[in-house]
């Protein structure tokens, strides 16, 4: 199995405040990994390090075998940011235009999309069950439908890994379960590796293959037995009660 993300002895600090220390984990091709942890644990900071938006203080990160700062094939990495709905819900564009915008590097500046780009866009919309809404203005869609469009946007380049940062934030509770089922189906049928930041561990446990918990700057992998034990006894534990964080 190919190594998709490798993190070794990673450390990071904002000024003198240590956020992450001696972080080690490996994500292989085909994994469906969730990352949980309490508020302020550093989950979003870790995502920014993996995406090359921040540089580690110590240790190394490899994305598909390369340092994020030197990595050139970002089309192989799909990304759905936290609170992404806020940035698109009032944007005067159709669903297909939102998805197609992620093909900018292929289409080029001030150029019209070719047939191959339109086909890729439709394929991504089909994968998330939104092809019949392709011409609909994004603002006319429900929160759950908008989230599927964001997901299609992350999939349009046919990535090897999809990184989701709190993907159900702002989504109606009744549609959250169907969203997780969709992600699992993409993982199983399309073979896409999934790395998802979430505090919703009680619902995601049955879908993911592995669960990491980030607490007090360090990371551990939890077995399903450990998670189910905590859920059954309803202990006040950070993996159960953690919320999305700002770090």
Integer distance in angstroms from the first to the last C-alpha of the chain?
A: 31
pLDDT the model gives residue 243: 45
pLDDT at 121 over 80: yes
pLDDT at 31 over 90: yes
| DSSP sequence for the chain | --EEEEEEEEEEEETTEEEEEEEEEEEETT-EEEEE--TTSSHHHHHHHHTTSS--SEEEEEETTB-TTT---GGGEEEE-TTHHHHHTT-S-BHHHHHHGGGHHHH-TT----HHHHHHHHHHHHHTT-GGGTTSBGGGS-HHHHHHHHHHHHHTT--SEEEEESTTTTS-HHHHHHHHHHHHHHHHHH--EEEEE-S-HHHHTTT-SEEEEEETTEEEEEPHHHHHHHHHHT---HHHH------
Average pLDDT, the chain: 87
CA nearest to 102, candidates 125, 128, 86: 125
* Contact (Cβ atoms closer than 8 angstroms) between residue 227 and residue 207: no
pLDDT band of 169, cuts 50, 70, 90: confident
pLDDT the model gives residue 173: 77
φ/ψ of 112, rounded to 5, equals -85, 145
pTM for the whole structure: 0.86
- The mean pLDDT value for 207-226 works out to 91
- The mean pLDDT value for 165-176 works out to 81
- The mean pLDDT value for 66-74 works out to 94
pLDDT band of 112, cuts 50, 70, 90: confident
Q: Tens of pLDDT along 177-212? A: 889 999 999 999 999 999 999 988 888 999 999 999
pLDDT band of 113, cuts 50, 70, 90: confident
Residue bearing the bigger pLDDT, 163 or 231? 163
Q: Which domains does the chain have, with CATH numbers?
A: 3-241 (3.40.50.300)
- The mean pLDDT value for 225-235 works out to 71
* Contact (Cβ atoms closer than 8 angstroms) between residue 7 and residue 218: no
């Amino acid at each position: 199995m190919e190594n998709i993300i490798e993190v070794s002895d990673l450390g990071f600090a904002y000024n003198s405040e240590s956020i992450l220390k001696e972080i080690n984990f490996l994500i292989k091709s085909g994994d469906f990994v969730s990352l949980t942890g309490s508020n302020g644990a550093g989950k979003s900071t870790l995502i920014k390090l993996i995406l090359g938006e921040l540089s580690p203080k110590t240790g190394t990160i490899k994305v598909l075998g390369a340092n994020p700062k030197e990595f050139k094939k970002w089309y192989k990495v799909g990304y759905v940011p936290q609170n992404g709905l806020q940035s698109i819900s009032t944007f005067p564009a159709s669903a297909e235009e939102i998805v197609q915008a992620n093909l900018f590097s292929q289409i080029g500046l001030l150029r019209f999309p070719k047939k191959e780009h339109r086909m890729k866009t439709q394929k991504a919309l089909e994968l998330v069950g939104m092809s019949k809404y392709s011409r609909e203005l994004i603002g006319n869609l429900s929160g759950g439908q908008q989230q599927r469009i964001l997901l299609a946007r992350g999939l349009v380049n046919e990535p090897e890994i999809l990184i989701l940062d709190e993907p159900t934030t702002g989504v109606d509770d009744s549609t959250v379960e169907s969203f997780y089922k969709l992600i699992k189906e993409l993982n199983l049928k399309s073979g896409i590796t999934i790395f998802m930041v979430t505090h919703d561990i009680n619902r995601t446990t049955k879908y993911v293959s592995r669960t990491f918990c980030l607490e007090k700057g360090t990371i551990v992998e939890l077995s399903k037995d450990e998670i189910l034990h905590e859920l059954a006894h309803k202990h006040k534990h950070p993996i159960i009660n953690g919320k999305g964080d700002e770090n």
